[in-house]
């Protein structure tokens, strides 16, 4: 008689052995399971394959959970070191793998990476919940929090304890078991929905092409845009035609310069209907589900709505305070925008056309008004803003402010051929960090511009470990024999993202959880937005704005035109931004289930504030990735909040008569850039500036310091 049980057991044992053998073989080949031997321990991008991600992520979760269990189950009395510091240091493998994986999913994705992201998302959400809902672990944290007065902690340690305790409470540690189970389900669903939103948006952006086959339909377009469209057509097998895409360097200048109104309308509608076409990539129900789940989660945790939950740990503190700032700006911004619309309509009428200004007309006619009023054509500026020269300018400004040096590294792994890498050092040669730059759009990269990190600054045995930082943008590409020539808006974007990079690079804290950009959303934009101010200063422009052919420094007359037009179209720019910020808050202050169609809700939100028909929110709901696929839910207002800070902060330099005043620069570095999240943001700001900021400087900068009731003549 055959013992089937023995055969089955032997079969299972052999299967287990072979799977373990295969896994060990995979481990041996997986670069994540080895110490990095690359320069400055950057990720070995040249060795990393898609197949390495999932096993490394799962092993990272396993190791991190084991470390957390060891802390939670320790029989030792809780101390700051064996609990809070131990938690801060735990999860090294998971952090290392996930930073590469999620950064590539944004900057250089593919179908396989996107599939892995969908598969791993519930695992990551569950793992996060397994930590924050671990009752034994929370008991240790709470014990330390309750006895914090006797722990004799310094300010940074006290902040880390506070942040850790709040993280547990805000993640549901005080909930009963039934509500914890509900929270786990919500978190899992939200992680997948946010991922789906972003993947849908990328697909929608890539799926549309405006194909032009008649040369006469290109009238008005700059030569380099036509050249870029011809190259795009060639790469897509349509040589002899011109292809325009929904990537910003293609769609925005097309809207700005294309004479053919019908084509402007076509590409505008494609751009604004992304995620709203009732196809496989439709985001309307995704948005509704995200909004409802966020509200449900917030109320489960004891908050009135998601905005109240999200803003508790920001400078604004409450949605009421965020609304207050937005509403202060709304009336003057809308008033100026109405004047701008009046001027544009006058130009349309004067040209003999018989149509009413539409959103797809605004950029086209605003450019004509600017040229007529200020004799400034943006195409005059672009030859002075080659990417190489702008990069030199950013480096020079940073050197003059903080003494930093930048040296390109070529013998270092990169994740794409277009990426460059730099060693960033102090004036004395001491390493500050590594900076990656990735500037051009491609199908594998999401839109927009952002800063991120592959490893944050930390301390090990009293030694500062340098961070690895990256800035990712979508700038105009080189065309033909010409280098990449940037618009002035792209120049300021470069300065902006570099400010974020400096926040990460110059971080000098003891605990990784508090490093660099680990600050509230409405403070994190201060380091980035203050950098934009230097970009427009004549003294700075003359350092880098040099004609790409002749190396001629930008003429004073052109700088003067740029300055004269400095507040031009700011009514439009501010209004479209504020509209999106108000829409964000409206979604996230819902206290009951959102049942309306997303289009209906959005229209009602904009009608409530009186947005005119010629302008739409900067981001409509179905492609508002900041709030539905990024970390800015109920926080898109933060750019204008930080705008109040940055204009006031830059005034500190201007008041000295020296844009590179070393006393102010060192104070900003020591009190803001180096401090990360170690202290309350307003405390840090006042330590630099000496007082809280006011709104007047921002209004003046944007040309909004006018009587809002004054009507156009």
Partners of 211 in the β-ladder: 243
Q: What are phi and psi of 101, to 5 degrees?
A: -60, -50
Partners of 452 in the β-ladder: 470
Contact present, 244 and 250 (Cβ < 8 Å): yes
Which residue intervals of 30-134 are DSSP H helices? 50-72, 86-89, 92-107, 111-132
Contact present, 294 and 190 (Cβ < 8 Å): yes
Q: SS3 for 406-420, per residue? A: EEEECCCCCCCCCCE
* 394 Cβ contact partners less than 8 Å away, ≥ 6 residues apart: 494, 495, 498, 544
Contact present, 444 and 410 (Cβ < 8 Å): no
Contact present, 625 and 446 (Cβ < 8 Å): yes
The residue with tokens 């959880």 is: 513
Partners of 437 in the β-ladder: 420, 471
Residue in 326, 329, 321 with CA at minimum distance from that of residue 703: 329
**CA dihedral angle for residue 699, residue 704, residue 706, residue 710, rounded to 10 degrees:** -150
Which DSSP string corresponds to 148-197? Answer: GGGS---HHHHHHHHHHHHHHHHTTTTS-HHHHHHHHHHHHHHHHHHHHH
Q: What is the DSSP letter of 218?
A: G
For the chain, report the end-to-end CA distance as a whole number of angstroms: 104
Distance CA 151, CA 161 (A): 11
Residue in 59, 49, 44, 138 with CA at minimum distance from that of residue 95: 59
Distance CA 572, CA 574 (A): 6
Distance CA 84, CA 61 (A): 19
Contact present, 550 and 541 (Cβ < 8 Å): no
Give the helix, strand, coil percentages of the chain, each rounded to 5. Answer: 60, 5, 35
Partners of 471 in the β-ladder: 437, 451
Strands (E), 410-523: 420-425, 431-438, 450-455, 458-460, 463-465, 468-472
Partners of 523 in the β-ladder: none
* Per-residue CA distances from 220 to 224, 261, 439, 482, 572 (Å): 12, 11, 26, 20, 22
Sign of CA dihedral 188, 189, 190, 196: positive
Task: Calculate the CA 410 to chain-centre distance.
Answer: 27
The residue with tokens 């349509």 is: 238
The residue with tokens 């001491």 is: 430
Q: What are the residue numbers of the active site?
A: 497
Which residue intervals of 351-439 are DSSP H helices? 359-374, 378-381, 387-402
Buried b (16+ CB within 10 A) or exposed e, 471-486: bbbbbbbbbeebebbb
* 220 Cβ contact partners less than 8 Å away, ≥ 6 residues apart: 257, 258, 259, 260
């Amino acid at each position: 008689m055959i013992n089937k049980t023995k055969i089955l057991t032997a079969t299972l044992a052999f299967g287990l052995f072979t799977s373990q053998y295969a896994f060990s073989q995979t481990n041996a080949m997986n670069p994540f399971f080895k110490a990095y031997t690359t320069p400055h321990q950057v990720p070995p991008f040249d060795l990393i394959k898609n197949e390495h991600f999932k096993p490394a992520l799962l092993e990272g979760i396993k190791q991190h959970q084991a470390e957390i269990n060891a802390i939670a189950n320790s029989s030792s009395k809780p101390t700051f070191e064996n609990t809070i510091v131990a938690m801060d240091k735990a999860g090294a493998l998971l952090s290392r793998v996930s930073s590469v994986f999620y950064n590539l999913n944004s900057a250089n994705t593919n179908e396989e990476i996107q599939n892995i992201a969908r598969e791993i998302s519930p695992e990551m959400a569950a793992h996060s919940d397994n930590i924050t809902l671990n009752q034994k672990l929370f008991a240790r944290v709470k014990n330390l929090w309750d006895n914090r007065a006797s722990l004799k902690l310094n300010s940074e340690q006290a902040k880390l304890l506070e942040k850790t305790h709040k993280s547990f409470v805000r993640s549901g540690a005080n909930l009963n078991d039934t509500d914890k189970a509900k929270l786990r389900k919500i978190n899992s669903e939200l992680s997948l929905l946010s991922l789906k939103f972003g993947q849908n948006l990328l697909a929608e952006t890539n799926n549309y092409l405006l194909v032009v086959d008649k040369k006469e339909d290109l009238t008005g377009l700059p030569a380099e845009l036509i050249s870029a469209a011809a190259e795009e057509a060639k790469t897509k097998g349509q040589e002899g035609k011109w292809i325009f895409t929904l990537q910003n360097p293609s769609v925005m200048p097309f809207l700005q310069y294309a004479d053919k109104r019908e084509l402007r309308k076509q590409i505008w509608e494609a751009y604004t209907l992304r995620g709203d076409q009732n196809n496989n990539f439709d985001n309307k129900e995704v948005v509704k589900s995200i909004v409802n789940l966020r509200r449900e989660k917030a109320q489960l945790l004891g908050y009135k709505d998601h905005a109240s939950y999200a803003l508790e740990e920001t400078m604004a503190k409450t949605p009421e305070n965020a609304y207050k700032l937005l509403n202060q700006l709304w009336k003057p911004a809308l008033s100026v925008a109405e004047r701008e619309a009046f001027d544009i309509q006058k130009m349309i009428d004067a040209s003999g056309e018989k149509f009413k200004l539409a959103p797809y007309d605004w950029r086209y006619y605003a450019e004509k008004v600017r040229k007529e009023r200020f004799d400034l054509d943006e195409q005059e500026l672009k030859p002075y803003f080659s990417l190489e020269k702008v990069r030199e300018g950013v480096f020079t400004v940073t050197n003059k402010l903080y003494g930093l040096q930048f040296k390109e590294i070529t013998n270092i792994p990169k994740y794409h051929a277009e990426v460059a890498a730099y060693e960033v050092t102090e004036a004395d040669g001491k390493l500050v960090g590594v900076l990656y730059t990735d500037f051009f759009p491609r199908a594998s990269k999401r839109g927009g511009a952002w800063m991120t990190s592959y490893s944050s600054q930390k301390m090990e045995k009293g030694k500062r470990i340098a961070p690895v930082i990256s800035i990712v943008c979508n700038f105009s590409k080189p065309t033909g024999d010409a280098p990449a020539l940037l618009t002035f808006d792209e120049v300021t974007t470069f300065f902006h993202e570099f400010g974020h990079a400096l926040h990460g690079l110059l971080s000098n804290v003891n605990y990784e959880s508090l490093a660099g950009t680990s600050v509230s959303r409405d403070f994190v934009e201060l380091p980035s937005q203050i950098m934009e101010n230097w970009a427009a200063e004549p003294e700075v422009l003359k350092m880098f704005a040099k004609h790409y052919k002749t190396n001629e420094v930008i003429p004073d007359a052109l700088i003067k035109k740029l300055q004269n037009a400095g507040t031009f179209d700011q009514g439009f720019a501010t209004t479209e931004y504020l509209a999106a910020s108000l829409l964000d808050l409206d979604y996230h202050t819902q206290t009951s289930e959102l049942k309306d169609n997303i289009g209906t809700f959005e229209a009602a939100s904009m009608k409530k504030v009186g947005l005119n028909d010629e302008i739409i929110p900067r981001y409509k709901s179905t492609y508002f990735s900041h709030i539905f696929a990024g970390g800015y839910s109920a926080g898109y207002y933060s750019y204008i909040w930080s705008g109040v800070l940055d204009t006031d902060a830059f005034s500190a330099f201007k008041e000295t008569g020296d844009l590179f005043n070393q006393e102010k620069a060192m104070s900003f570095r020591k009190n803001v850039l180096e401090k990360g999240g170690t202290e309350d943001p307003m405390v840090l700001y006042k330590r630099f500036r000496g007082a809280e900021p006011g709104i007047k400087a921002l209004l003046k900068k944007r040309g909004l310091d006018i009587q809002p009731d004054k009507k156009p003549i």
